[in-house]
Structure 1
Amino acid sequence: MKMLMLTLIALGTIVGTVDVLSVAFAKQQGVPVAASFVLSAYAAGSCISGLIFGALRLNLTLPKQLLLASIATAAATLPLLVVYDVLTLSVSVFVAGIFFAPTMIVTMGLVEKIVPASKLTEGFTWMITGLGIGIAAGAALTGWVIDEMGIRAGFTVTIVAGSGVLLASVYCYRLLQQHMALQTA
């Protein structure tokens, strides 16, 4: 449960970084209004993928789905390294947004599997709290990094957060594999 929450803290950090980076980058490019298009691209990617992912019935275990979603989440932050205008930022965050909803859906599915029914609301509350902590931390850290080191350094915060999602998920995967092996034994 703690590692799942850590996964969502890192996932939320990506959201917080995207929020701040979008505004700062669009302003730097001389088109501050374009930040709304960038943020919409992130939300659209997440919304579309959430609808599609929610309709799928995959034959993979939830721990494997989490591992794959976290690999994709981490990889989807890498295009930020080559952003040079608002259009490329919009495309990059759209791609990053595609993996937000599936990662969140799988995480919540795992909470549903490992938390007793009488504690399920509390389990979901901890996950949403972790996401909120990550969003706030990501926004604050990215704002500071941009002010101190520039926009490009702000993109690095997103990439580090994506790596954090992956690392936490790898550890979760191992713990969940052990947990499921004990349940079947």
Structure 2
Amino acid sequence: MSYASLLQAPYVTRLLLGTLVGRLPSAMAALAIPLVLREVGASYDYVGLAAGGFAIAAAGGGPLLGRLVDRAGQVRVLVPAAVAAGLGLIAIALAPSEPAVVLAGAVLAGAATPPLEPCLRVLWPDLVPAARLESAYAMDSASQELVFVGGPLVVAGCVAADSPVGALWVGALLGLLGVLVVATASPTRRWKAPVRSPDWLGPLRSRGLAVLLVSLTGVGAAIGGLNVLVVFYAEHHDMVGGAPTLLALNALGALIGGLGYGAVRWTSSPPRRTLLLTVGLAAAYALLCLVPSPPYMAAIMILTGLFLAPVLTAAFVLVGKLAPVGTVTEAFAWLVTLMTAGTALGSSAAGVILEHATESQAASVGVLSIAVGAVVLAAGQRSLVVRDADAARAAA
């Protein structure tokens, strides 16, 4: 089954597009909120506080909303969350000069961000044949890059047509529209999580899942460090298009890598495959320490992306297998949260190093972070193996 045939399967295209549209506000808010606040003369300290509040609230709210989905169903959580997140963005748009309103709106918009990523990944086993599930995850992983490219482009269009405030209104509308497309689909309305026994740890009681999530935090740190590094690199090298060009090349590599991964019939086990791909990602990031001239830097950015999407795809497969019964949505939400937390840590570390050391040393943040994740994966290989009996219970 090709990607074209996957997209032709009932509800696949609808749910994938709805999820992508519904996730655009997150990528838009990261840029639109600072632009709106700067337009009214806010200081960079205040801008950072508001943007950070949005990001932290989104990271913290994800697992909580994921747990609610596992207990109440997708529709009952997605729609109210989209409304609440939209109201948060609109509050900022209506009163950008009121600090209390802006901060409350940023926190509300972040905390209520609809968990569309986890919800779609939970639905894939119901949408495609088991033999093509990994291809579906690969298509999902690769398509994420469209959100990070499309979000800033929509903001740029809103700024050109009117002002940054318009981007917040558009973001609120797109978020609700995307969620309605997903929530009104039959697979979404039918989905119910298996009954589980109450446990405050939720999916984190799975040792294998905890190992996997810790390793992915290192991958997130590498991404965060790279985001800061390319800005510094573009300022000190004659690079056509600057940092956006480098990040776009990285996204292109991820798109190619994700689709290529899903087109291959793999024979190795998911735990071993995840480990090997993570080692490959670390090797690709190690090349950044050379700080080469722009043409070679462009090639390295594509290479790092080529490994990133396959690592995430292999991880998606493992999350679905390792999560205890009735906690799969929350498990995927934890993946997003810890990746986000890792990105924040990596960005901070790279920023401090660039202020006091060299580009090569800042690039080492990504290598070391992924290397630590690979060591954790290697040490926990046995815990990542899903026994047949466990898999049968999960399928039931």
State the TM-score, normalized to the length of structure 1: 0.90
Q: Pick from 59, 62, 66: which aligns with 2:274?
A: 66
Candidates 11, 14, 17, aligned match of 2:225: 17
1:180 CA drift (Å): 3.4
Tell me the residue number matched to 2:24.
Answer: none
4+ residue segments displaced more than 4 Å: 181-184
Deviation at 1:31, TM superposition (A): 4.4
Identity of aligned residues (%): 25
Q: Find the structure with the greater CA-based Rg.
A: 2
Q: CA deviation at 1:171?
A: 2.3
1:32 CA drift (Å): 8.0
Q: 1:117, CA displacement in angstroms?
A: 4.1
- Residue 377 of structure 2 corresponds to which residue in structure 1? 169
Runs of 5+ consecutive residues of structure 1 not aligned to the other structure: none
Query: In structure 2, how many angstroms separate the alpha carbons of the residues matched to 1:10 and 1:58?
Result: 25
Deviation at 1:92, TM superposition (A): 1.3
Aligned-pair CA distance for 1:183: 5.6
1:133 aligns with 2:344: no
**Secondary structure at the counterpart of residue 99 of structure 1:** helix
The counterpart of 1:38, out of the listed 225, 231, 246, is: 246
Q: Answer 1 or 2: higher relative contact order, Cα 8 Å, separation at least 6.
A: 1
For structure 2, list consecutive stretches of 5 or more residues without a partner in the other structure. Answer: 1-208, 392-396
SS at 1:118 equivalent: coil
2:368 paired with 1:180:
no
Counterpart in 2 of 1:149?
Answer: 357
Pick aligned residue for 1:3 from 211, 218, 224: 211
C-alpha distance in 2 between matches for 1:152 and 1:65 = 29
- Of stretches 122-131 and 155-164 in structure 1, the one that deviates more from structure 2 is 155-164
What SS does the aligned partner of 2:387 have? helix
Distance in structure 2 (CA, Å) of the matches to 1:99 and 1:172: 21
Is the Cα contact below 8 Å between 2:255 and 2:309 reproduced in 1?
yes
Which of these residues, 291, 300, 318, is aligned with residue 110 of structure 1?
318
Structure with the higher fraction of residues in helix conformation: 1
* Other-structure match for 2:264: 56
Alignment partners' CA distance in 2, 1:72 and 1:160: 13
2:331 corresponds to which of 98, 101, 123: 123
In 2: Cα distance, 1:81 partner to 1:148 partner: 16
Q: How many residues align?
A: 183
